[in-house]
Amino acid sequence: MPIDRNELRRVMGHFATGVTVITTLSSDGKFYGLTANAFTSVSLDPPLLLISVDQKAESYPFFEESKVFTVNILADDQESLSRRFAVSGGPKFDGVAYRTGANGAPILEGTLGYIECKVAATYPGGDHTIYLGEIQEAATVDRKPLLFFRGGYRALGD
């Protein structure tokens, strides 16, 4: 018998993660982004990572359209940014500090790092699509991470 959807969400929530906002853009230059923790390092040589995006997300078609995305790793004082980008649609970037990266997608200010990618491959992942990103540029600063565990935001040491 397949596992119940809510039970699956509960069990998966026992794996503590960082929190990212993944940004991309449309062909007419409009910015999109969503909060995501389905993100992992894949390969050092070549440098690859993967993300998994819900096909129902408003941002979803633009990963395929632009073939680029940027993973912004949130700092411990950016819970409100995480909540903002976890709500579907709307003017998410209004009042948010960002600059445009080399790949054209927004790099959010105040994070503890970002990784700019070009889409190298896509794979079916049920109701999500898995994007393999070839890493183009990346940087970090010395800040503490925002964490997500059992459905709640946490900080190191909680």
Ligand X SMILES: Cc1cc2nc3c(=O)[nH]c(=O)nc-3n(C[C@H](O)[C@H](O)[C@H](O)COP(=O)(O)O)c2cc1C
List residues binding ligand X (CB under 6 A). Answer: 19, 34-38, 52-54, 57-59, 86-89, 148
Please say whether the beta carbons of 67 and 116 come within 8 A: no
Please say whether the beta carbons of 124 and 132 come within 8 A: no
Minimum gap (Å) between residue 137 Cβ and ligand X: 22
Nearest Cα neighbor of 16 from 114, 148, 109 is 148
Please identify, using beta-carbon distances, which residue of 52 and 100 lies nearer to ligand X: 52
3-state secondary structure of 80: helix
Please identify, using beta-carbon distances, which residue of 5 and 45 lies nearer to ligand X: 5
Minimum gap (Å) between residue 79 Cβ and ligand X: 10
Minimum gap (Å) between residue 49 Cβ and ligand X: 12
Please identify, using beta-carbon distances, which residue of 36 and 120 lies nearer to ligand X: 36
Nearest Cα neighbor of 74 from 117, 38, 116, 22 is 22
Q: How far is CA 93 from CA 44, 119, 142, in A?
A: 32, 23, 24
Please say whether the beta carbons of 57 and 88 come within 8 A: yes
Please identify, using beta-carbon distances, which residue of 37 and 66 lies nearer to ligand X: 37
Minimum gap (Å) between residue 153 Cβ and ligand X: 8
